[in-house]
Structure 1
Amino acid sequence: MFDKLKSKLHRHKSKGKNDDPKAAATSNPGKENEPPAPAAPAASETPKQDEPSVEQKPTTDTPKEKTSEKTETPPKDRWDIALKQLPPAKQEKLRALGMDKLSSGYVESEIDDLVGLVNKKQEECEKKFWRVSIGDNDIVLRNYTTKIVGWLEKAGDIAIQFAPPQASMPWSVVKSLMQIPVIGEEQMGALLGTTEAIVRIVSRGQVYEQVYLNNDSDEAESKLSQSLENALIGIYRTSLDLLADSGSLFSQNTARRTLEAILNPGNVSGGLSSLSAQEDELLRDVQACETRRSAAADDRMIGMLDCLNAPLVRVDENVQKLLDKTDETDRQDLLEKISTVKFGKHHDNVRETRTPGTGEWLLQNEAFHHWEETSSSGIFWLQGSPGTGKTYLTSRVVDLIKSEMEDLPRNEGFAFFYCNRNEANRRDSLSIISSYVRQLATSASNPDSMQTKLKELCKQAQQSGTTLSFDACQEQILASSNLYSKTTLVIDAFDECDQDSRDKLIEAFNELLAESKNTLKIYIASRPDPDIQSQLQEEQRTSLTIQASQNAPDIERFLDEQLQKLSKKAAFVGKMKTKIIERLLERCQGMFQWASLQVHQITRCRTESSVWKRLDNLPEDLQKAYDEIWEQIETLEDPDKEFVKRALKWVAAATEPLDSKCLLSAVRVGSLDDGGISEDEIDEQGLLSLCGNFLIIDPESYWRFSHLSVVEYLEAAHQWSKPQAHLHVANACLSLLITAYENEDPFTTLKHETEYDSEDEDNKPPEWVDIMDTGNRFHRYARHHWVEHVHEAKVTEDSPLAMSLKRFLGAPEESSVQYRRWLGQFRKEVFWSGDMLDSSGFQTSGFDLTKFTDRESTYAYGSDLVFASELEPSDQPVFAMCRFAFDTILTEWWNSPAIDVSQKNDLGHDLLTIAAIGGSVAICRRLVEKGAQVNSKQSFSIYGSALVAAAWWGHTDVIKYLVEAGADPNIHLNSQEGWADRGDDADGESCEAEDATESDERAPEGWFASPLVAAVEENNVEATKYLVNEAKADVHKKLTYDGYGNVLEIAAFKGNYEIIKCLVHAGADVNKPTLHPYSGRNIDRVVGNGDLKTIRFLIEESGADVRAPLPGSTVNILVQAVNTKKLENVKYLVEKCHVDVNEGSEYETPLVAAIKTEDLDLVEYLLKSGADVNKTCDNGQTNPLALATEREYSAIVRLLVANGADPNQKDS
């Protein structure tokens, strides 16, 4: 009803934006079923010059009335009229609370006071984690406070901007209402819900009175106006009656009934239910008056109505405190480190191909509208069969939410993700959840700021040499949802996630819904799936299955657009368009993909008769439509058919999306047995035409399958598989490398290539397009990714691929010229191509930059940095056999007596260590059988031993084999960092004297003191657990490794809860001093890392002593906690562990440390907890007030002074 009124009122605004999300789904913030305010009326084409505009306050001068001498009548005080209709006892009660005061002159101060009271209630709710469940509604109390403040601000804006006449509005009574003490969440919910209803009515009523019941209005005495006046006075009377009885509404016995009346007014009798019914009646009277009011309303009325209609917006002050303004460059760098998934581009790709108007039915759907508008958290699950257009619908939902947030930025979080089975980073749980973290790091209302906690988390991960784990991401998303008033997560094609990833995400979604303090909305689009259904919590799930009748208008629009384009090429199609659409709609069964395939088939028709014949022979379903296309491919001539099948395999197996420059070259190359490189070439349109809509080119110019169902069809109907696709791609890559490097020396060409942008071939000379040139896009892909495709082909030695691999490598004892040239070219690329340092191709070459950037790629000899690889020297292919785990595919070579198991590569690693890096148990076993020593130590190397290498890389199965084969889990290695930094411990004895069997002057044996150190530093949980629990690695061993005194200290710095728990359960001492005693103990390290879960474990379960500082230490545990800027950690130590807030280190008290963080909340908390505002540090320096003044922290200065800071105190 209100939608029709709104469109009628805004005649002065533009109409008919077909794809405007908000036009499709009007919402009414503030109350889900509340009577909306009328929209602004149309303004006259020539506005009156003597009337104030929306932006102007009315002038104090009254223009002379030229047309009448009518004297003004005093404005009616309808609140006073309503008051006088109450029983005398209630009148007296309300007057005692301030109801008889005229409030217009005091609106600003009254509202400011009320906002302060509401904020205190919100803080109380958050501190006690209050939530209320009433029936199917899970109430987030913070939503009520947000709405209350929103309505208060509206009332203030209207009063200040438009100066309505004075009236006895009940602000003083509402203030008294907000001061009622409550002891439970239901009482608080009832109090806030009732307050929100009253404040909403006050705000709306003042506008309705001014617009429709103004004494100067011609309509003031009409019957319609009189009906509206009666309705207003009636609802005012009910509101005052509720306020008079407020004490009984919020008692423990009635609070739940009050909440039920707010949420389900039709099911409960009483004042609140009556109030809801009166609001509905009021709306009908407002609509009736609106139809009679002149369309030439003045700007003042328009401004008042627009102000009332604007969405409720409140940027919480607490949100501002938890955000940190960040430089654009720094912010982008941090965001890229969190996630590199191009989520925005994926959305753009869908939106650009979506027909305007698609998805209107979903936005108007009652189930979707309820999920979107209700204040309860919950999941909306959109289900649909393959090809029904779910992704287009998801993109429509994304546009709706984005437009709402962009038009009027709010304190809300929003993140979305489009899954894709064919792209690794779009089907993995960590990729998805880390993308959510990135998107929630900022909000529309604070685009230049990032969450302070997230910045610290990223900094810690960077210092620890790790990335955000899944659990850390989930914790951060929870922090975001607790920060924003509302958070919405969207995920499309959820069924295309890996099964394990899907299960992990569903578990995370359920936990987030259970733990979030504020409203959390999750939108999921997928095929119907019993696994998803069984795991999603039914009580929080709203499901909607796409029916053919629902998306038929979307398909009709799509067909109309596509046929209109086609008619420009074939005029006869235009004449038939209506009939074609009717026929296709009859048969499509709600499937976009089927309809799209039929349009493609019609494009092949050249006459009207052929179109009719096509329409008379439409395939029954999607399967039959694909059968038809496959039959057309099979009838092609052999060269064309081969191009199509190669293209399909390449798109299925490629490790990254392929553009035309790469794919059009790739389809020319077969295996050596198939003739190698074809002389034939094909262009983009030619290949697209041959593929029959199995493949498309997306808006980013990458080749993709037109739909997931195409891949599923090829797998089911023609027994295609991913390994088969990888087999072809691996053969093609090796075929090109063998041919290209056979006669040509690549180095001269490569030097020339660096003169051009490696990503911009458009500016290169024509000869660079040649497939044999190293600058060719496919050539680059082949030399970077051939290893992965060989592995994924999953073949044995009897496969033709094995013969190609052997030809490329050469022989076990000597490599081929092609292999040496390939590796030599990589050396040049590492040296010259800075833009390729993140390429996975470098791991293919053995440089491993993605794993060990500063140690393996640039290995130091003295002061020289030498580019090094596990594969060098290049004349020995056995290093590649070990590094790339070529076991079963090269069985015959492994039996060769020419393999010397003792030989080492240029990094000083023997074959067993390289095989451990590669992760192959089979190769490790072969080498041990050939005589490799499992405890061999390698001087001047990175890992020092095979077991250390396996531990660092997290290959638990290799670790287990080596230990069972006799490897010592406590092998003592003279690590480089320990060897360089060797010093004495607190007792003046050598830290490793008890273990050392050789002179301290012996050559360093790797970067790690033991296998356990390597596993812990790289956060390899399973490897750590095996070494500790099964192999009995020593958790007490003293270290001088990289500034650490023991392995628990390393784990504390890294912050991995599971590893810390494993070490502590094995006996690691949490109170043990660190390497340098002045740095404190292991528990101090943990607190400094900031993970509350780990802190609680160590204190509550492991006996960590937080109140006994280590003698001689300069570290104070509370100062450590303060420095992390995590208030919850500080509160835990103070309130649960009773740490003294005034005890600090020589250089910092906790209060001084808090001032240095600029965190006002921390400072305020410490002061409330008894921190001495005038206490200096132990060295007599750093006066808190002087520090804050010097650094110009004005808010902190005011806080310190207010708490008794002495401005005359000076540092000693």
Structure 2
Amino acid sequence: MLRQLRSRLRKSLHRHGNARNHEGCKDNEQGGYDVPAVTASPASSERKDATQITTASIEISHPAALSESASPEEFYAAISTSTRPLPTPPANNFTDIRNPAGANDAPTSLPAQLWDRAYYDLKQEETELVVAYEKILSRQLQGGPGLAVPESQLNIIAQNNPDARRRQMIQLIYAGLDRIERETKLKENLGVAVDVVQSAKNIITSAIHAIPQAALPWTGICVALEMLANPISATEANSKGIDYVVQRMEWYWSLSSSLLRDLPDHAGTLAEVRGQLEEKILDLYKALLVYQIKSVCSYYHNRGLVFLRDIIRLDDWDADLEAIRDIEQCFRHDAQAYTAQQATSHLEQLVHHAQKQETQQMSEKYQQCLKQLRVTDPRDDKRRIELTKGGLLADSCRWVLDNADFRQWHDDRQSRLLWIKGDPGKGKTMLLCGIIDELKSTSDSSLLSFFFCQATDASLNNATAVVRGLIYLLIDQRPSLISHVQKKYDATGNPLFRDSNAWVALSEIFIDILKDPSLPPTHLIIDALDECMEDLGLLLGLVVQTSSVCSAIKWIVSSRNWPIIEKHLNNATHKARLSLELNEESVSAAISTYIRFKVEWLAKRHEYNNHIQAAIQRYLSENAQGTFLWVALVCHELANISGWEVEESLRTFPPGLDELYRRMINQIYNSRHAKLLQQILAIVSVVYRPVTLDELPSLVDTPYRASGDDRALAEIVGLCGSFLTLRERTVSFIHQSAKDFLLKQARDEIFPSGMEDVHHTIFSRSLRIMQKTLRRDIYNLGAPGFSIDNVMPPNPDPLALVRYPCVYWVNHLRACNPKKNTNKDLQNGGTIDTFLREKFLNWFEALSLLRCMSEGIASLLELERLLEVSFRSCDI
């Protein structure tokens, strides 16, 4: 049994050796400190402070090099023949738990801290016993073994310096092991007792060799082993007890390191349980220390120490051992509970970590998907429209909230579609802006998504863009809805939103979202259906379908009085309509409010007197004809007219939008910049999206000194009357009706050579500016494969001039008259052939930097089709 115990303990101590660096030990040049032999030397009888006691008081010899498998006999034989002195064993830096003042700053292992704390507590609880024990140890430090311990013995064990105390304990252990070795060799015929001593000695040797911090708990055992080597002094019960204590001390040293390891910050109640378990280990350590201290004192008591007789009772070893076992049993029960809770906590940590990682991954995927879904943020479009039209006047929109048709739609659960219709300039867009604000303020629990169609912007004038915008706002308010998009996006990526099947995929996603059981009541609003230039029928069909089958959805759409729109919306089963023409009285009252607001603004600007102010208000009221836009355009013109001539100028503004637009065209053609302004109006009328001040000079023959001068270009745009507006450096029409007038009633003036020639001009200028501007590594990134997400455009941006040409030059080529304008361009050696040979890679690099690769691929496919058409026509 003892041999099995010895084998098991040696394996355990091998773990101590593996943990040497963790415990703070430093090896010497030979790879570690060997256990030294100790020869006692006479010590001074003078009183010394504990901090002055060092291993210098003992002569120590350094053993010869031995293999790790050397037997104890070989080990001590090597010691006895060695004469080279061994340096002082390394003192581990240590922070005393109870009294850190005298300690070093480096941390001590947890078991060593607990043993030191247990020893300190025990000294407070069993003061006389521990003091007697320390006097015995002090005598050994001064005089060596076998000497009597007088009652006047001074206690020289370091009290407040754990580092110094540890050196003393190591010194005592080395000396004790040497004595035990000599005694056991002389008494090998003692059988079991010697076997136990040898096993315990090996454990102590390995422990101190690996972890010098273990010196404190093992010192008493080392001294106690002397009585096991001397059967005259040891009882059988005490011998068994010491054997048991040796086994348990090594076990609990290792156990405390793993069981009480540091907890994460969010461990919560587990930290409290750990603290309670630590107290149980301390109780156990104290019980083990008490047993070994009593064993030491018993040994010396039997040698006749008078001052121990009245301090302790040393005759009930079985009871003492049973007390240790009781404490162990209690500890095991608590340790099992703690381990179970620790495992649960660890599992919770793993789950938390996995959820955190999943959330982070989902967040990244969510952001990427939402980023690609976004074609525009309709909230930004709303703010832009309001700014362009001079701000939202809430009083001019409030009438609709009490309108019977609106109330029916709002209050009746069965009424799911409201169509607001009216002629151009009647204020439909601003009316919907007011409704959106009202729904936001009164419907906290519902979702609201909207979209403003704009015919002049290719990214805002098609059915796919409308659905993308509606989905974007819904997901932005309810992120969980992203799952409906993510399934398809993970499979296809960015083409989901841009390829030829984008409408099919997105309309299915949109319907799935509206059918989601978690979706709260939702309001969906689309303004200016008449400005949806592509797939309007598909969009109207989707509105009708969802308004009929999705009970939680309520739609509002607005448009002009177009029969095709009315035909589609008539198929809806739960609908209402609000005609601005049939609500002329309410609209007129709203326009009157708007007129008062605008006239007050003009009066403050020009300091009108009451007479002029009244004259302007009267003229606007008499000629507005229920049209907000007419009032806005006239007031815009009056803002540039001095007060003394404003009354006379009023008569030059004819009633009705078309008449007003005609007046503006005549003014443009009578100006000395007529040709330049005509070019600008023509270009802005046919581009596929509004162009910026940076892009305008690449498409129009602007004056040399005006190119690159934002102020000069803004003045030129301002000369185009009230047809155009400039907002955030982007040129666009003031209203769709202005563009309609130019394309229909002023077509001959704006396009004297035909619209195809304007497209060809844009195409030709686009190729020239790209040929001149594009080059390799235009952003000077210097690294092929540089992630587009990490690209920051330089300032100034060399692509600012060619952003529009890079994306849309093929679109304008397609819009040219192929027989008249493009055959020469499409021939071998023509302008397109030259551009592609010289700048193809530079063009695609620019498209990548502009994040328009999908548009570039579509352009290549369209160019291939145009070439095939051109070749066929040439063959014919």
TM-score by length of 1: 0.38
Alignment partner of 1:346 out of 374, 381, 385 = 381
Alignment partner of 1:594 out of 598, 609, 630 = 630
Assess if the C-alpha contact under 8 Å between 1:325 and 1:449 holds in 2: no
1:618 shift after superposition: 3.4
Aligned match of 1:710: 738
Aligned match of 1:628: 663
Measured at CA, do residues 549 and 824 of structure 1 come closer, stay the same or move farther in structure 2, by a change above 3 Å? same
Aligned length: 499
Q: Does 1:355 align with 2:392?
A: yes
Measured at CA, do residues 822 and 711 of structure 1 come closer, stay the same or move farther in structure 2, by a change above 3 Å? same
Report the secondary structure of 2:635's partner residue.
helix
Aligned match of 1:577: 613
Aligned match of 1:436: 470
1:10-39 CA-partner distances (Å, limit 9, x unpaired) = xxxxxxxxxxxxxxxxxxxxxxxxxxxxxx
1:715-764 CA-partner distances (Å, limit 9, x unpaired) = 221236999445324324424644885xx796489466999999867x33
1:956-990 CA-partner distances (Å, limit 9, x unpaired) = xxxxxxxxxxxxxxxxxxxxxxxxxxxxxxxxxxx
Report the secondary structure of 2:565's partner residue.
helix
Aligned match of 2:63: none
Assess if the C-alpha contact under 8 Å between 1:559 and 1:581 holds in 2: yes
Q: How does 1:78-93 map to 2 (within 5 A)?
A: none
1:127-180 CA-partner distances (Å, limit 9, x unpaired) = xxxxxxxxxxxxxxxxxxxxxxxxxxxxxxxxxxxxxxxxxxxxxxxxxxxxxx
Report the secondary structure of 1:697's partner residue.
strand
Report the secondary structure of 1:543's partner residue.
strand
The amino acid across from 2:414 in the alignment is S
**Separation in 2, partners of 1:736, 1:425:** 20
Q: Does 1:615 align with 2:650?
A: yes
Measured at CA, do residues 824 and 530 of structure 1 come closer, stay the same or move farther in structure 2, by a change above 3 Å? same
1:826 shift after superposition: 4.2
Assess if the C-alpha contact under 8 Å between 2:685 and 2:743 holds in 1: no
1:449 shift after superposition: 2.8
1:679-720 CA-partner distances (Å, limit 9, x unpaired) = 76572332233111001123x432111111112211221236
**Separation in 2, partners of 1:758, 1:634:** 45
**Separation in 2, partners of 1:832, 1:463:** 19
1:366 shift after superposition: 2.5
1:840-872 CA-partner distances (Å, limit 9, x unpaired) = 6633774x7xxxxxxxxxxxxxxxxxxxxxxxx
**Separation in 1, partners of 2:504, 2:807:** 32
Aligned match of 2:365: 330
Assess if the C-alpha contact under 8 Å between 2:419 and 2:556 holds in 1: yes
**Separation in 2, partners of 1:587, 1:602:** 15
Assess if the C-alpha contact under 8 Å between 2:633 and 2:722 holds in 1: yes
The amino acid across from 1:717 in the alignment is Q
Q: Does 1:524 align with 2:557?
A: yes
Measured on the aligned residues, the alpha-carbon RMSD in Å equals 3.9
**Separation in 2, partners of 1:523, 1:579:** 38
Q: Does 1:789 align with 2:812?
A: yes
Alignment partner of 2:866 out of 867, 885, 889 = 885
Measured at CA, do residues 661 and 732 of structure 1 come closer, stay the same or move farther in structure 2, by a change above 3 Å? same
Measured at CA, do residues 461 and 539 of structure 1 come closer, stay the same or move farther in structure 2, by a change above 3 Å? same
Measured at CA, do residues 488 and 787 of structure 1 come closer, stay the same or move farther in structure 2, by a change above 3 Å? same
1:622 shift after superposition: 1.1
1:258-304 CA-partner distances (Å, limit 9, x unpaired) = xxxxxxxxxxxxxxxxxxxxxxxxxxxxxxxxxxxxxxxxxxxxxxx
**Separation in 2, partners of 1:570, 1:641:** 29
Aligned match of 1:730: 760
Measured at CA, do residues 593 and 745 of structure 1 come closer, stay the same or move farther in structure 2, by a change above 3 Å? closer
Measured at CA, do residues 754 and 404 of structure 1 come closer, stay the same or move farther in structure 2, by a change above 3 Å? farther
The amino acid across from 2:866 in the alignment is A
Measured at CA, do residues 578 and 685 of structure 1 come closer, stay the same or move farther in structure 2, by a change above 3 Å? farther
Aligned match of 1:503: 537
List alignment gaps of at least 5 residues for structure 2: 1-358
Q: Does 1:835 align with 2:835?
A: no
Alignment partner of 2:687 out of 640, 654, 665 = 654
1:486 shift after superposition: 1.9
Assess if the C-alpha contact under 8 Å between 2:624 and 2:631 holds in 1: yes
**Separation in 2, partners of 1:330, 1:717:** 50
Report the secondary structure of 2:608's partner residue.
helix
Assess if the C-alpha contact under 8 Å between 1:426 and 1:432 holds in 2: yes
The amino acid across from 1:728 in the alignment is V
Q: How does 1:979-990 map to 2 (within 5 A)?
A: none
Alignment partner of 2:729 out of 688, 701, 715 = 701
The amino acid across from 1:414 in the alignment is L
The amino acid across from 2:812 in the alignment is H
Measured at CA, do residues 335 and 758 of structure 1 come closer, stay the same or move farther in structure 2, by a change above 3 Å? closer
1:406-434 CA-partner distances (Å, limit 9, x unpaired) = xx3x2x34321111222233222222223
Aligned match of 2:286: none
Q: How does 1:223-622 map to 2 (within 5 A)?
A: 327-352=362-387, 353-357=390-394, 358-405=396-443, 408=444, 410=445, 412-441=446-475, 443=477, 447-462=478-493, 469-482=502-515, 483=517, 484-498=519-533, 501-516=535-550, 518-536=551-569, 537=571, 539-546=573-580, 547-572=583-608, 576-608=612-644, 610-622=645-657
The amino acid across from 1:643 in the alignment is L
1:461 shift after superposition: 3.9
Assess if the C-alpha contact under 8 Å between 2:524 and 2:554 holds in 1: yes
The amino acid across from 2:819 in the alignment is E
1:561 shift after superposition: 4.4
Measured at CA, do residues 649 and 329 of structure 1 come closer, stay the same or move farther in structure 2, by a change above 3 Å? farther
1:597 shift after superposition: 1.8
Assess if the C-alpha contact under 8 Å between 2:421 and 2:558 holds in 1: yes
Measured at CA, do residues 612 and 437 of structure 1 come closer, stay the same or move farther in structure 2, by a change above 3 Å? same
The amino acid across from 1:595 in the alignment is V
1:389 shift after superposition: 0.8
Measured at CA, do residues 607 and 382 of structure 1 come closer, stay the same or move farther in structure 2, by a change above 3 Å? same
Assess if the C-alpha contact under 8 Å between 2:422 and 2:428 holds in 1: yes
Report the secondary structure of 2:820's partner residue.
coil
1:531 shift after superposition: 2.3
**Separation in 2, partners of 1:777, 1:687:** 20
Assess if the C-alpha contact under 8 Å between 2:807 and 2:847 holds in 1: no
**Separation in 1, partners of 2:539, 2:613:** 45
1:545-588 CA-partner distances (Å, limit 9, x unpaired) = 11443233443444444444444553237863343123202210
1:656 shift after superposition: 2.7
Report the secondary structure of 2:819's partner residue.
coil
Measured at CA, do residues 802 and 496 of structure 1 come closer, stay the same or move farther in structure 2, by a change above 3 Å? same
Report the secondary structure of 1:619's partner residue.
coil
Looking at CA atoms only, which structure, 1 or 2, has the larger radius of gyration?
2
Higher percent of residues as helix: 2
Measured at CA, do residues 480 and 797 of structure 1 come closer, stay the same or move farther in structure 2, by a change above 3 Å? closer
**Separation in 2, partners of 1:568, 1:885:** 58
Assess if the C-alpha contact under 8 Å between 2:419 and 2:578 holds in 1: yes
List alignment gaps of at least 5 residues for structure 1: 1-323, 670-676, 769-774, 849-879, 895-921, 930-1212
Report the secondary structure of 1:354's partner residue.
coil
Assess if the C-alpha contact under 8 Å between 1:548 and 1:589 holds in 2: no
Which of structures 1 and 2 has the larger relative contact order (alpha carbons within 8 angstroms, sep 6+)?
2
The amino acid across from 1:428 in the alignment is N
Assess if the C-alpha contact under 8 Å between 2:612 and 2:647 holds in 1: no
1:359 shift after superposition: 0.8
Measured at CA, do residues 688 and 578 of structure 1 come closer, stay the same or move farther in structure 2, by a change above 3 Å? farther
Report the secondary structure of 1:344's partner residue.
helix
**Separation in 1, partners of 2:403, 2:361:** 40
1:1072-1100 CA-partner distances (Å, limit 9, x unpaired) = xxxxxxxxxxxxxxxxxxxxxxxxxxxxx
**Separation in 2, partners of 1:333, 1:574:** 59
Assess if the C-alpha contact under 8 Å between 1:418 and 1:491 holds in 2: yes
**Separation in 1, partners of 2:487, 2:793:** 37
Measured at CA, do residues 463 and 728 of structure 1 come closer, stay the same or move farther in structure 2, by a change above 3 Å? closer
